[in-house]
Structure 1
Amino acid sequence: MLLPFTLEPDVLLGGISRENDPTPIFDAVWYNAGAVNDGLAYSFAVGTLAGARYLTADLLLDGDDAGVFVLEMQEGESGPVFQFFFSLLPEASARMRIPLDSVHQNRWLYDREAAWLKPRVGGQRVDLRRVDRMRLLVTRRGDTVTRWCMTPLIVTAAEPLRLAQPILRKGCLLDALGQSTLRTWPGKSRDAQEVTTRLHNQLRDAPLQQWPDGFTKWGGWTYRTFDATGYFHTHWDAEGERWWLVDPEGYAFWSAGQDCVRPAIDASAAGLESALTWLPDDTDAEFATIVTHDGDALLVDYLQAHLMRAFGPNAWHAAWSNITLAELRRTGFNTVGNWSDWPVASDAGFPYVRPLVPLADPKAPLIFRDFPDVFDPAFEADAARFAEQLAETRDDPALVGYFLMNEPTWGFAEQTPAAGMLFNMTTNASRRALVDFLRERYGDPASLSRAWELDTTFEAVAKSAWDAPLNEAAQTDLADFSAIMVERYFSTLSAACRAVDPNHLNLGARYYSVPPDWCLGGMRSFDVFSMNCYEARVPADSLKAIHEALKLPTLIGEWHLGAMDVGLPATGVGPRVRDQVARGQAYRVYLETAAAIPWCVGVHHFTHYDQSALGRFDGECYNIGFLDICHRPYDELVLAARQSHRRLYPVALGEHKPFGDAPEYMSRLFF
């Protein structure tokens, strides 16, 4: 079939209905979906998509909730299924531009483009030469019918143009304060003067805010002591049969942290400039720094504008620092978490963790997503250069520890790193090491071919452009070799970091969930295992298994809860609850049940502030903060956190039972 060509849906799936009402987009059709997995089905001849480079369509989502969609491509009725997820910002037209080479699975996250949010891949690898069907499904939604209009799909060899100007049916999406214009809610700030008064009052009260009674100067517990080393370290309490962190003076420490403690809430506005009520121009020179350009990105920080308006261009950061550390003490947090303005914590002697920044110019190539060629001779030198950044905090007693990375994207793939490497890279050092591994396991090519049920050679494994399917034996072999790759990866990084900084805790990789067995064993080189856990409770059985496998405690690097009652179009990755009161209940359940788990040494809430209603760099626009964009604390959540943090250590010691009055958990809306 000659390119470009269009595809129309030939079947409506589930309870979806089609409208004949006029649409704001030319040649579009309205659809109404009342349930998850309602959608549109497309069928075509096998191989129709071969040779094409993009799928594109224009869409507009009605209402004030975000919507999440998945486009699935499948090889026949029972073949592998590739998934491409995306979300839409409500009341702004968007252009979907799906690169068809994404089916190779070598990239997880694609760039947000205006109202087309968080495009990313999932599912399995497919071959476009074998694909003969697609489905566009609603995969997450709010409480009302998901109504959107869209044009036919266009299949093209040329890259589609970006959408030049979105259609905004209800006008601007953000008001002059950075709040949503699509909703009203109790507590929505009226004007800039209200925000300024609030900030001045918070600065006035800052010296009065203290940690709960019984906390040490580091946020530890005065009633339980161990050996002091001058730095944070771990301790297995054989008598109490639980793990602890220990503060520099030897007191038991359980880390209640807040991530992203920094004066920034970026609204990603590229392509959505017309959706802003206020954007500084030449007449607002004092606010020029709230607008930043990064390549194609345009970021606008309304929080910083509020701070500058209240305290002036030279004093706002110091004022924010005083307010924020006081707010953390008032609420009972004892750790400044990842992606924070950690020098502020360091200067104040407030416990903090820090993320290590990936090298901008690694010499060892990437072989699958962000997994490096760990057998390349350059990798060890890369690791040494990577570790050098720890020198500046090596002697700081306030530093709890450092994270090597966050949620490596190779961990999200259904393929193991070795399988992904086989399909996406030709010759490299790790493929040659894979051949050595297979040669030792099988001895000769004939034995390998019999096991993998295909005609292959060691030379083909070493350097061919691989496209053959992998049977169960091949998948097992590649998982076993992936375990070797992961162990080499993390042990090399860990050794390099300890050579620069022997004083602080290696807090691991913040895996996105409990890792599979082939991955977990390679994490023994950490001091603390870390993962992100967006569930209603931390899974005690999983933490026990990690403790037994690695002999390490676990730190939860991210978690949160969200609601739809304060103007944000989505709620977050964690459980959704009814309102801010329920967020407080859910906070107490999560933190206190985690503190009662003997293998858990802390949980870090993500994030300090809500995200922008326009969405951050990738489109996330969640109610996940303790404060909104106008620096208004969610009092119900703050009160609940204060209650839990006062009970934290008695709960961890088994003297009190954890809070158990859980709220109703609702269907999540995140992307």
Structure 2
Amino acid sequence: MPVTYSPDRVAGDIVVADSNVPLDDGSRYTAQSHEDRLVYEIEPGSLTDARYLTCDLLLDGDHLAKWELRLHEGEDGPTFGLRYSALNQCQARVRVPLTATNQNRWKYDREGAWLKPLAGGDRVNLERVDRITIAVIRKSDEPVRWCQTPLVATEEEPDRVDSPALPEGPLVDEFGQSRIHEWDGRTEDEGELVERLETQHREANDHALPDDTSQWGGWTDRQWEATGFFRTHHDGDRWWLVDPDGHPFWSAGLDCVRANVDSVYGGIADALSWIPDEDGPFAPALGTTHGQPLVDYLTANFVRAFGDDWHDRWTDTVLGQLRRLGFNTVGNWSEWEIARDAGYPYVRPLRLDFDDTVYRDFPDVFADDFEEAAAAFAEPLAETRNDPAMIGYFLGNEPTWGFADETPAAGMLYTTETCATRSELRSFMEARYDSDAGLADAWDMDVSFADLETGRWREHLTDAARTDLADFSEVMVDEFYRVLSEACRAVDPNHLNLGTRYAYVPGDWALSGMSHVDVFSINCYEERVHADRFAEISERLNVPVLIGEWHFGALDVGLPASGICRVGDQSDRGDAYRTYLEDAAAKPWCVGTHYFTLYDQSVAGRFDGENYNIGFLDVCHRPYDPLATAARKSHERLYDVAAGRVEPYDDPPRYLSTVH
């Protein structure tokens, strides 16, 4: 150690050049297609003593690309993968901790221009890895051009890059906009910015929700029992939410209604053309997140217009914009306090942060102190339990154990040597099998009940073992959500338990735990909602479905990435919005969709590096008019669509390969 690897070959349509390379010892690569890749053949066992794999890269152009570094056990064996992307025109250092191959962690920290490292694939044994590949897995319509140095396996933690190469100079201007893109709609100067914000603030009170809606945004055409709080109701034909006055309510929500568009600059300070003085008038725009410094250019822009009164003016302005667009709900990740104070319907998240976890973020649910931890988790609900404007609360968001290719019970065997939940697993299997021999025979493995309770596993599981562990995972998940839900209802019996906002449709082993919630919530980044699967879940659980996140973006307004769902331009975003929302509203099991997000993300990337064109407004508070107009049209006919009086909008745009 260290050991340096250069690619033994390339696969696909990659072109290699070694001239005019901006990184020392690097090579220039051009990839034309998805899955173009570099291939490194290595001796099995050569990674056994390594703790990191590292290299430097510099992504050319102005659109995002994403790679996956894969470790292979033979041609047909398990494969571990770590996905990542990078800022354009800024040197990044890839630092892959090889402990990631144990799969106990999904998301790793962004480091400078190295963005959103995510572990996936299989658990691998480093002693058996004989090949490394680096593949291009996401790209725009243009070829991916990047420079990269040789790959190094090392015992020592590689240094981070603090002064990266910036061949095009700073990436971000003083207003938070890109300096390396050209597009129509750029804010050119402070005068233009201030005039826009002053006009929006002046006109804020002129905007209203669509006609024929209650003070909450419910549908005044009908009325049922008024309870003073939001609730669910099935009218014989479909599910609804019901507002505090008894009117049907379909939740058209907007996530991240908050005064920040964070540009995280740890390790890349030179990429920002302006960082405010911490003692000056723009100090409110400075902060930290996930241990990294940030500049919030949205806040800085409001300070430019309104000085010390910037937050009150932002509140008035943004609530006016929500009414103008026709949104009746302030969605997750928002400054929900401004909605509470204004009597605007809102949801709020609860924070899952348990000390004792057994696999990724899954807690030790059979530990003696888990109920006490659940009570502390629920306590913040006391603040809003009597507020009629609150629709409900989320128990969590996209649990990282839900992103794994294995169940929590299976993962726990490899990541936690002993815990109360493993003791419960032993009892569960002892009730299923009469002896160690019976267990070993059923699993076709050399295993005992004692092995289930203690010790860290290394061998791969058989299909029979995975099936039994999925059954116990169902027990784990049910206990998890039963205890959390009971704790929340003890503090707040008035509001809806909106579930946990899964990222994907969970396996059957994860669904029984949702029997404890009032609404099944899920984030669905697709062209339309999953009609058959969501209908099945709603019927099985006898609860409605709420979409917690979705969006569409493009590459035409000065941001390097489109977001998870991509269309051609801002007009197409409007058509995509109408198609998705009205299709969802027409589904009898769906009671709302919450769009992610109000604002575009920073061109320099948020805490994990996301830098998507997904907002209704840019960092300078310029609305995307085609999207805004489309949303208002859909929101004005929302209840007629939900009631079946009119057909949903069905003129979708052309959907493109994602760049995120």
What range describes the TM-score normalised by the shorter chain of this pair? over 0.9
1:468 and 1:81 map into 2 onto residues whose CA distance is 15
1:337 and 1:44 map into 2 onto residues whose CA distance is 49
Matched, 1:309 2:304: yes
Q: Which moved more, 1:553-562 or 1:465-474?
A: 465-474
- Asked whether the equivalents of residues 18 and 26 of structure 2 are also in contact (C-alpha less than 8 Å), the reply is no
Determine which of 323, 326, 330 is the counterpart of 1:336.
330
- Asked whether the equivalents of residues 368 and 420 of structure 1 are also in contact (C-alpha less than 8 Å), the reply is yes
Matched, 1:607 2:607: no
The aligned runs of 1:268-283 (5 Å cut-off) are 268-281=264-277
Determine which of 623, 626, 632 is the counterpart of 1:633.
623
Quote the offset at 1:20 in angstroms: 2.7
- Asked whether the equivalents of residues 572 and 622 of structure 1 are also in contact (C-alpha less than 8 Å), the reply is yes
2:419 and 2:489 map into 1 onto residues whose CA distance is 28
Residue equivalent to 2:400 = 409
Q: Which moved more, 1:223-232 or 1:259-268?
A: 223-232
Determine which of 389, 397, 410 is the counterpart of 2:388.
397
2:472 and 2:423 map into 1 onto residues whose CA distance is 12
Residue equivalent to 2:283 = 288
- Asked whether the equivalents of residues 445 and 462 of structure 2 are also in contact (C-alpha less than 8 Å), the reply is no
Quote the offset at 1:497 in angstroms: 0.1
Matched, 1:298 2:296: no
Matched, 1:254 2:250: yes
Determine which of 141, 150, 168 is the counterpart of 2:148.
150
1:603 and 1:513 map into 2 onto residues whose CA distance is 15
Residue equivalent to 2:653 = 663
1:552 and 1:299 map into 2 onto residues whose CA distance is 41
Quote the offset at 1:47 in angstroms: 1.3
Letter in 2 for 1:120: L
Residue equivalent to 2:125 = 127
Determine which of 217, 229, 233 is the counterpart of 2:215.
217
Matched, 1:578 2:568: yes
Equivalent residues, number: 660
TM-score by length of 1: 0.97
Determine which of 548, 555, 560 is the counterpart of 1:557.
548
1:414 and 1:505 map into 2 onto residues whose CA distance is 31
In the TM superposition, what whole-angstrom CA distance separates every residue of 1:74-130 from its partner, at most 9, and x where no partner exists?
A: 111100110000001100010000000100000000010111000010111111011
Matched, 1:500 2:498: no
Determine which of 11, 20, 23 is the counterpart of 1:22.
20
In the TM superposition, what whole-angstrom CA distance separates every residue of 1:50-73 from its partner, at most 9, and x where no partner exists?
A: 111000001000000111000011
Quote the offset at 1:226 in angstroms: 1.6
CA RMSD of aligned residues (A): 0.9
Letter in 2 for 1:243: W
Residue equivalent to 2:502 = 511
Determine which of 313, 316, 327 is the counterpart of 1:322.
316
Determine which of 537, 546, 557 is the counterpart of 1:566.
557
In the TM superposition, what whole-angstrom CA distance separates every residue of 1:367-396 from its partner, at most 9, and x where no partner exists?
A: 000000000011011001111110000000
Quote the offset at 1:294 in angstroms: 4.7
Secondary structure of 2:474's match?
helix
Residue equivalent to 1:203 = 201
Residue equivalent to 2:341 = 347
Determine which of 439, 460, 472 is the counterpart of 1:481.
472
1:532 and 1:513 map into 2 onto residues whose CA distance is 7
Letter in 2 for 1:473: A
1:295 and 1:247 map into 2 onto residues whose CA distance is 37
Determine which of 558, 569, 589 is the counterpart of 2:579.
589
Residue equivalent to 1:617 = 607
Letter in 1 for 2:329: T
Secondary structure of 2:637's match?
helix
- Asked whether the equivalents of residues 65 and 142 of structure 1 are also in contact (C-alpha less than 8 Å), the reply is yes
Quote the offset at 1:293 in angstroms: 3.2
Letter in 1 for 2:258: R
Letter in 2 for 1:286: P
- Asked whether the equivalents of residues 6 and 153 of structure 1 are also in contact (C-alpha less than 8 Å), the reply is yes
Gaps of 5+ in 2: none
Matched, 1:646 2:636: yes
Quote the offset at 1:281 in angstroms: 2.5
- Asked whether the equivalents of residues 291 and 298 of structure 1 are also in contact (C-alpha less than 8 Å), the reply is yes
Quote the offset at 1:289 in angstroms: 2.1
2:324 and 2:285 map into 1 onto residues whose CA distance is 28
Task: Give me the identity figure in percent.
Answer: 54
1:222 and 1:295 map into 2 onto residues whose CA distance is 44
2:594 and 2:529 map into 1 onto residues whose CA distance is 12
TM-score by length of 2: 0.99
- Asked whether the equivalents of residues 521 and 549 of structure 1 are also in contact (C-alpha less than 8 Å), the reply is no
Q: Which moved more, 1:618-627 or 1:142-151?
A: 142-151
- Asked whether the equivalents of residues 600 and 619 of structure 2 are also in contact (C-alpha less than 8 Å), the reply is yes
1:164 and 1:623 map into 2 onto residues whose CA distance is 27
Gaps of 5+ in 1: none
Letter in 1 for 2:343: G
Matched, 1:356 2:350: yes
Determine which of 535, 538, 545 is the counterpart of 2:526.
535
In the TM superposition, what whole-angstrom CA distance separates every residue of 1:590-622 from its partner, at most 9, and x where no partner exists?
A: 000000000000000000000000000000000
In the TM superposition, what whole-angstrom CA distance separates every residue of 1:554-596 from its partner, at most 9, and x where no partner exists?
A: 00000000000000000111x2111100000000000000000
Residue equivalent to 1:81 = 79
4+ residue segments displaced more than 4 Å: none
Matched, 1:447 2:438: yes
1:107 and 1:101 map into 2 onto residues whose CA distance is 9
